[in-house]
Structure 1
Amino acid sequence: MKLTLVAAIAFLTPSCCEGTRPYGRTLTYNCPVRDGHVDYSQFNPVHDGLRVNTITSLAFQTKGKNDAHILLQNNNNDFEYKVVEIVIGGWGNTLSVIRNKQQGEALCKNEGHVLSSSSLQWFWVSWNGGCVKVGKGPNVGGSQIMQWCGLNFSINGIRFSYGFGSGGTYLIPLPENSPPRHDSSKTSKSSRYRRDTEESEESEDRQ
């Protein structure tokens, strides 16, 4: 069986790709270089087929110089109320933190260089039993680097971004039973959507 993988990475404009991989479908989010704060609105994994309300953990790969940001949401369309912000490799790739609001106080910290600008690195995030945990590697629960046990709401959405002088890429495996993908960034005029399948490739400008 022939598999088509997305090899080109573009950092000039946001783009979203879906490819077929040995373990199933994968969302690929290419985040542009941002000098300032992150932009959580550029991609919507829930609309792209990730059923966040049916899972309590997620493993993914990412590559970037610094400041990979993940936002866990109670409401998939709310970026401020009832959220948990996870920063991986912030402050020049020297510090990772968990916060209960955007740019809030660090509730948990981990020092050290964890991101790579030259190769994809596996990370995982879990939210269960009132605790948000973050670790390295593809296996949820292994090589944990952070934990905060103050979560008092359900997680129904998740967003990804890079910022503060860095662009980056996220590869997010989807469960086998995920619904067909909906292009969440068609409303973005500066983005491009590219879908790779086993037999065909299709491109269209968006945003």
Structure 2
Amino acid sequence: MDPGKCRMCMLPGFLRYHLIETAVLALIFTDFGFQLLSLINSPALSTEDKLEYNFYPVASGQLQFRIKAPNDAHIALTTGPQEGEPMYEVFIGGWSNSKSVIRKNRTKPEVAEVDTPDILSADELRGFWIRWNDGVISVGKEGEPSAFLTYADPEPFGIGYFGVCTGWGASGEWLIEGHGPLSTRDELAYKFHNVRSGSILVEVRAKSNAHIALTSKKGDSSPMYEIMLGGWENTASVIRYDRKQPDKVRVNTPNLLNENEMKKFAICWLDGRIVVRAGGVNGPVIMEWQDPKPIGVSYVGVRTGWGATGKWILRTAQYPPCPVPNHKNANPSAPPPPSGVTDIGDFCWCEASGGIIPPGAVEGGKDDETLYVGRAYHEGALLPGKVKPGHAVCYVAWGGGEHGKTEYQVLCGCNPVWVPTSGNNIPHNAIPGGESEDGEPLYVGRVQHEDTVTIGKVQPSHSVCYIPFGGAEVAFPEYEIMVQEN
């Protein structure tokens, strides 16, 4: 293939775009049943050897997909649902599956180019991701945090749509971040979908009995949470644990659902705190319950029954629809908070993964790029650390090592300040950021080290701030600590 002689460029009048006009805020689960990067269930899409893009809206700053094709998988990134300038194009497996490039505005020379022999396959699906932030376009392989192709645009533009096509002797089968709806029948059988965030946005059209299950396994399992909306002929809603009565929560919700209109809800289950909001993330809380012994939630199931059918759209929330308690001292024998430190209220820790930075994320450091205040679970501890978008992980320090976690939480929606301190001198307004495996409260600290400002964990009983750096856990008795502004 010679993209300089691309039929798509020569014959723009022949292009026919298949558009989805309604943009979505996040990933939509579909009934295809395929798991991509453990994050999404995605619909199938076929492309023929015509070099005609199929366009879809995108709003998350990244695209994840799998493609089965012998060569020439093309992805366009555009401002709108039409051909024109400005536009980026990513060619994967071009030139007889030997090379991949990034091109801007269909002009040569390529702005980025790399040899990628046999990167595509006609016999198996292969996964890739594309991310864009501050004008930097990165292309990588599924499961690999580092990009194999990058371009920093000195004159970037906003990306609102992506398109995919194949050509030059290739047809393709794609699995992409989903855009399809989901239907459920009146059969009281859940359809389960993998989910990694601590919250979902739900839209459902049904006359009654919209049920949502939260489980640790794909399928009916024990224990499980059940949220029943519009039950009892659309008069009441409940939260039920492990299908047992009495219900943990029951409220009157007359006419909550509508068989002629999609109704929106937001559901959060972080740290065992189940919160249900009507109308989306900013809507009123209609039910809330704290499980004293939280279960892990990896799957969401939906169903309708008792005379009702339903149309559903499920989206992962870009930020949680409820605040998360900033810490809990789960172990009664663990060290208490340092003297003089008080609980200063809830902060919003937003579930994220793979380098995604939620809106309102708190900046805390610098290391060739901006670092964000994050935290992640490791060996039974919830550890403050640094989110490095370019590596697609949150780094935390533990046991003498630096550990990169692809799933993490990011501090959002507040404006903390940093103050110098040392040892176990913890200011009264320090913001708790996690806890050790023994239940000791941990705080967020940072240190200037080797031309970086690196975020880490302050462990009062050790009188130091530990930072993850260069593969190791490095301790500093003097550091800055994150506090709530008085």
Distance 1:45 1:63 in 2: 19
Cα distance, 1:175–1:89 mapped onto 2, change above 3 Å: closer
- Decide which of 21, 29, 33 is 2:182's aligned counterpart: 29
Corresponding position of 2:298: 156
- Decide which of 170, 189, 204 is 1:39's aligned counterpart: 189
Distance 2:258 2:214 in 1: 23
Corresponding position of 1:105: 246
Q: Deviations over 1:106-129 (max 9, x none)?
A: 110121221011010110110012
Deviation at 1:4, TM superposition (A): 3.2
Deviation at 1:21, TM superposition (A): 5.3
Deviation at 1:102, TM superposition (A): 2.5
Letter in 1 for 2:189: D
Residues 1-207 of structure 1 mapped to structure 2, 5 A cutoff: 2-4=18-20, 16=31, 18=43, 20=56, 23=59, 25-34=178-187, 38-40=188-190, 43-46=191-194, 52=195, 54-77=196-219, 79-102=220-243, 104-112=245-253, 113-139=255-281, 142-150=283-291, 151-173=293-315
TM-score w.r.t. length of structure 1: 0.66
Distance 2:180 2:214 in 1: 17
Q: Deviations over 1:166-205 (max 9, x none)?
A: 0011111357999xxxxxxxxxxxxxxxxxxxxxxxxxxx
Distance 1:165 1:122 in 2: 21
Letter in 2 for 1:30: S
8 Å CA contact 1:27–1:172 kept in 2: the answer is no
The 3-state SS of whatever aligns with 1:25 is coil
Distance 2:259 2:21 in 1: 19
CA RMSD of aligned residues (A): 3.0
Corresponding position of 1:181: none
8 Å CA contact 1:26–1:173 kept in 2: the answer is no
Distance 1:116 1:165 in 2: 14
Corresponding position of 2:149: none
8 Å CA contact 1:86–1:97 kept in 2: the answer is yes
8 Å CA contact 1:89–1:96 kept in 2: the answer is yes
Deviation at 1:5, TM superposition (A): 7.1
Distance 1:149 1:91 in 2: 24
Corresponding position of 2:364: none
Distance 1:160 1:146 in 2: 18
**Runs of 4+ in structure 1 over 2 Å off:** 1-6, 15-27, 102-105, 173-178
Corresponding position of 1:198: none
Deviation at 1:60, TM superposition (A): 1.5
Cα distance, 1:5–1:174 mapped onto 2, change above 3 Å: farther
The number of residue pairs the alignment matches comes to 158
Which structure's relative contact order is higher, taking Cα pairs within 8 Å and 6+ residues apart?
1
Where do 5+ consecutive residues of structure 1 fail to align? 7-14, 47-51, 179-207
The 3-state SS of whatever aligns with 1:116 is coil
Distance 1:29 1:172 in 2: 8
Cα distance, 1:175–1:114 mapped onto 2, change above 3 Å: closer
8 Å CA contact 2:189–2:303 kept in 1: the answer is yes
Structure index of larger Rg: 2
8 Å CA contact 1:131–1:148 kept in 2: the answer is yes
Distance 2:199 2:316 in 1: 12
Q: Deviations over 1:60-115 (max 9, x none)?
A: 100001000000002223x1312001100000000000000226421101212210
Report percent identity of matched pairs.
22
Where do 5+ consecutive residues of structure 2 fail to align? 1-16, 23-29, 33-42, 45-55, 60-176, 319-351, 354-486
Letter in 2 for 1:121: K
